């Protein structure tokens, strides 16, 4: 690594979606930090050279990164990335009591930013983080960055405009104290859709509900009972079964049991994308929900990305919680470009 290479620490790294995209942009991700031991193998297998640090940020002392891993204060080439779990601020119905602790993760990330004062800071989260900016700590976070000389740019981004084939909206912030202009990712020339990523023409053979793929490609699909199999068979692309439409009208997952459409972006890939009952996750043609690999591909993970976990649910959780690597790559490239422009 040359002295001019940007380097990063990925807080709340999970299975490595952000790390992978940032690495594609040419930034050396020194390490990813996460409290979940089950994501370690996936993270390190797919991001060689990026160390996995098992730690809970609520218990991790700021000096520990300095003492154990050689981090320095005021490093102009350092990027701190904080993509904390976002269940508490999500509009999707979740158990807020279970996710209560996660609501303060931005404040914990802020503790590390203040101590190390890195050249660049990135935050990625659900739009709810901004909607409740006082409670989430965002107001204080941005105010502190600006008072210490950072140029801050944040917005709600429609990821479909940034190479991701989903109707996925995310809050993203990029700040720098070494670049005197606002930094933001470049949009795509075209908005990608489902047919650009999955289907037989993209290397996904036709399979039936309940199919198990024991290879690392993981084209594994959940089973369907007879009632739900009949319902999906009678559903056109973009539609949902009539009885489901009546049942879910006005509340809940109104698109449950629906099919995606080839010519439109997929819905937001959640941690439950492999289940028909949790959204419009039906395949456009085949009578089944998305496979694990299809969900990962719609999240823009490389097709050779290897997911290691004990269950389908754990793998789907890693995929659904991830920052899409393509969006992360664009964030990384914007930072690299701004750094080069500043340094001539």
For residue 86, indicate whether it is catalytic: yes
Q: Which pair of structure tokens corresponds to residue 268?
A: 């937001």
Catalytic residue among 57, 86, 164, 174: 86
User: How do 51-54 and 151-158 pair as beta strands?
Assistant: unpaired
Question: Which letter, b or e, does each residue of 257-266 get, where b requires 16 or more Cβ atoms within 10 Å of its Cβ?
Answer: bbbbbeebbb
Residue pair 295/199 in contact by the 8 Å Cβ criterion:
no
Quick check: helix, strand or coil at residue 79?
strand
Q: Which pair of structure tokens corresponds to residue 187?
A: 């949009």
Residue pair 314/38 in contact by the 8 Å Cβ criterion:
yes
In sequence order, which ranges of 25-137 are alpha helices (DSSP H)? 40-46, 62-69, 105-116, 128-131, 133-136
Number of neighbouring beta carbons within 10 Å of residue 2: 6
Backbone angles phi, psi at 339, to 5 degrees: -65, -40
Length of the chain: 344
| DSSP code for 190 | S
Q: Which pair of structure tokens corresponds to residue 123?
A: 């935050």
Residues with a known catalytic role: 86
């Amino acid at each position: 690594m040359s002295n001019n290479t940007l380097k990063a620490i990925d807080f709340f790294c999970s299975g490595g979606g952000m790390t992978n995209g940032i690495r594609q942009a040419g930034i050396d991700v020194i390490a990813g930090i996460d409290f979940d031991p089950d994501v370690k193998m996936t993270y390190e297998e797919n991001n060689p050279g990026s160390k996995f640090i098992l730690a809970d940020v609520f218990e991790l002392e700021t000096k520990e990164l300095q003492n154990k891993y050689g981090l320095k204060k005021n490093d102009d080439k350092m990027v701190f990335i904080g993509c904390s779990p976002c269940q508490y601020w999500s509009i999707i119905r979740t158990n807020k009591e279970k996710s209560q602790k996660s609501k303060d993760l931005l404040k914990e990330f802020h503790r590390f930013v203040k101590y190390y004062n890195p050249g660049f800071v990135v935050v990625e989260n659900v739009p709810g983080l901004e909607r409740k900016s006082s409670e989430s700590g965002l107001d204080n976070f941005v105010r502190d960055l600006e008072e210490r000389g950072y140029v801050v740019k944040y917005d709600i981004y429609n990821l479909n405009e940034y190479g991701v084939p989903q109707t996925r909206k995310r809050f993203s912030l990029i700040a720098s104290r070494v670049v005197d202009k606002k930094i933001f990712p470049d949009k795509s020339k075209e908005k990608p859709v489902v047919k650009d990523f999955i289907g037989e023409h993209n290397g996904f053979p036709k399979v039936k509900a309940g199919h198990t793929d024991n290879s690392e490609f993981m084209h594994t699909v959940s089973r369907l009972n007879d009632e739900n199999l009949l319902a999906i068979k009678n559903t056109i692309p973009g539609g949902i079964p009539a009885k489901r439409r009546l049942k879910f009208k006005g509340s809940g997952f109104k698109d449950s049991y629906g099919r995606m459409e080839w010519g439109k972006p997929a819905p937001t890939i959640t941690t439950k994308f492999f289940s028909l009952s949790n959204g419009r996750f039906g395949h456009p043609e085949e009578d089944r929900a998305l496979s694990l690999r299809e969900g990962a591909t719609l999240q823009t993970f490389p097709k050779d990305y290897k997911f290691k976990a004990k269950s389908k649910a754990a793998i789907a959780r890693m995929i659904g919680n991830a920052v899409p690597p393509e969006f992360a790559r664009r964030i990384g490239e914007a930072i690299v470009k701004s750094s080069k422009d500043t340094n001539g």
